[in-house]
């Protein structure tokens, strides 16, 4: 998912000894062509993934598409996140979560160096993503070292249009639309997975780098509840597939890069396109 990568639910860690070769697919329409590429939103510094094969596809495209275009100024991004993650009149976190869940959160927050008192007015989904993001940073990961910043820079260098499938505020809205019970399920899964997050991330990124997307559909947070999965994964994949179907009806080549979890599993973007009658080919 990116959802926004500041809070990527795909926690990742990789060896940088060799250039990665993530999977790509091509979708062709009557006159247009779309390359699909699965991304990892946070990577360790120095991870090499832009192989000549991938670079050729990017440079041959008329435009580059990513999930969302974030503000480039840290202050603007910080203000956006802070505004989205808090709400006036929200019940204090302790009242919403109950003593057992608060105790578990406090233990994780203490390990991460986060004063739990500072979270009192935060939305429950925001607390879950904040914990995941801080843990990722402690594991040596950073959104600035993910795939999207390099794609953004390359689009600028090659004078190609950069398109966001969703607006940042729209992505925050997905979480706001979740009932409190689903937000708490997201938080529970995030906290429960924290002890194994680094090891899970190493396995995930190894599969991504080796071009084995079938092993990437492991985001337990995305599957925490049926509503969460539908809102953050299935519905978005369906919208993106519809958008791609429209793109390939027009001349040109487009490079579309979305979170790798969207390109694997029964409800992947490729499956949605196949249901529309398109042939999606893996680029070997």
Summarize pLDDT for 129-152 with one digit per residue, the tens: 999 989 988 888 777 788 999 999
Residue 137 is predicted with a pLDDT of 85
Q: For residue 34, what are the CA distances in angstroms to 61, 208, 243?
A: 8, 20, 11
Task: Specify whether the CB–CB gap between 220 and 193 falls below 8 A.
Answer: yes
Instruction: Give ∠ CA 281-223-228 in degrees, rounded to 5.
Output: 105
Task: Specify whether the CB–CB gap between 256 and 65 falls below 8 A.
Answer: yes
Tokens 């929200």 belong to residue: 90
CA distance 205 to 229: 21
Residue 2 is predicted with a pLDDT of 39
Residue 13 is predicted with a pLDDT of 31
What is the C-alpha R_g of the chain? Answer: 19
Residue ranges in the chain whose pLDDT is less than 50: 1-18
Task: Specify whether the CB–CB gap between 166 and 41 falls below 8 A.
Answer: no
Type and span of the H or E element at 37? strand 32-39
Residue 98 is predicted with a pLDDT of 93
Q: Please state, as a whole number, how many other Cβ atoms lie within 10 Å of the Cβ of residue 110.
A: 11
Residue 158 is predicted with a pLDDT of 95
Task: Specify whether the CB–CB gap between 17 and 255 falls below 8 A.
Answer: no
Residue 154 is predicted with a pLDDT of 95
Please name which of 68, 196, 84, 74 lies closest in space to residue 129, comparing C-alpha atoms.
84
């Amino acid at each position: 998912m990116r959802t926004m990568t500041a809070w990527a639910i795909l926690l990742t860690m990789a060896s940088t000894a060799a250039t990665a070769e993530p999977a790509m697919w091509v979708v062709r329409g009557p006159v247009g062509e779309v390359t699909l590429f699965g991304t990892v939103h946070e990577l360790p510094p120095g991870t090499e993934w832009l192989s000549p094969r991938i670079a050729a596809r990017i440079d041959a495209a008329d435009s580059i598409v990513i999930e969302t275009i974030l503000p480039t100024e840290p202050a603007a991004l910080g203000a956006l996140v802070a505004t989205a993650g808090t709400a006036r009149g929200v019940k204090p976190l302790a009242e919403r979560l109950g003593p057992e869940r608060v105790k578990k959160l406090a233990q994780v927050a203490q390990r991460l160096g986060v004063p739990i008192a500072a979270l009192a007015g935060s939305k429950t989904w925001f607390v879950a993503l904040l914990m995941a993001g801080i843990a990722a940073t402690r594991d040596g990961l950073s959104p600035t070292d993910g795939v999207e910043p390099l794609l953004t820079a390359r689009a600028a260098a090659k004078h190609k249009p950069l398109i966001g499938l969703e607006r940042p505020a729209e992505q925050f809205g997905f979480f706001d639309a979740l009932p409190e019970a689903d937000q708490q399920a997201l938080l529970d899964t995030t906290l429960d997975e924290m002890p194994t997050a680094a090891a899970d991330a190493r396995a995930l990124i190894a599969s991504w780098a080796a071009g084995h997307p079938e092993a990437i559909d492991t985001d337990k947070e995305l599957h925490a509840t049926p509503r969460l999965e539908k809102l953050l994964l299935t519905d978005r994949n369906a919208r993106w597939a519809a958008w791609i179907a429209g793109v390939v009806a027009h001349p040109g080549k487009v490079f579309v890069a979305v979170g790798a979890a969207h390109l694997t599993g029964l409800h992947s973007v490729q499956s949605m396109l196949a249901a529309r009658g398109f042939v999606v080919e893996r680029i070997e």
